[in-house]
Amino acid sequence: MTDCATGQPLDILEGDFLVVNSREYPIRSCAEWEWGYGRAMRRFTTVTASTKRSPAISGGKRGNPVAKLLGLKCTPLDPVDPEIRQRLALNTPHELLETFVDGGGVFLHLILEELKR
């Protein structure tokens, strides 16, 4: 998982937040896309996103999430189909969304939770 601009690994973890259009989506699942990588897939990465991560717990409290990665390219957020929801066994009343993030040499498949506010 590498950043296409720097060649460094993309540091995206479950528990981080994907930020798209100023909205934060908790990342529930993050995995390399098993179908590999192709230049044609880059045409679909039309959304710019960033990630946030909560700092380590200090004094029994966790601080507010802070920006981690900026300028990521991903596919538009789409609802997760029922098969993926069942396979991942993510028990949540919130809608699940998916996107694919361009990591340079690999795509990451992210499952996000859309929190209703």
d(CA 34, CA 113): 21
Q: What are phi and psi of 32, to 5 degrees?
A: -65, 140
For residue 2, the model assigns a pLDDT of: 40
Name which of 5-9, 31-35, 63-67, 93-97 the model is least confident about.
5-9
Q: What pTM, to 2 d.p., does this model score? A: 0.81
What is the DSSP secondary structure assignment for residue 7, as one 8-state letter? -
Higher-confidence residue of 9 and 77: namely: 77
CB-hemisphere CA count at 13 Å for 100? 19
Contact (Cβ atoms closer than 8 angstroms) between residue 33 and residue 98: no
d(CA 5, CA 69): 12
Share of the chain above pLDDT 90, in %: 43
Helix or strand holding residue 68 (H, E) = strand 66-74
Q: What CA–CA distances, in Å, run from 107 to 33, 65, 72, 91, 92? A: 5, 24, 11, 25, 25
For residue 79, the model assigns a pLDDT of: 93
pLDDT, tens only, 38-92: 677 888 899 999 999 988 887 888 788 888 999 999 999 999 987 777 777 766 6
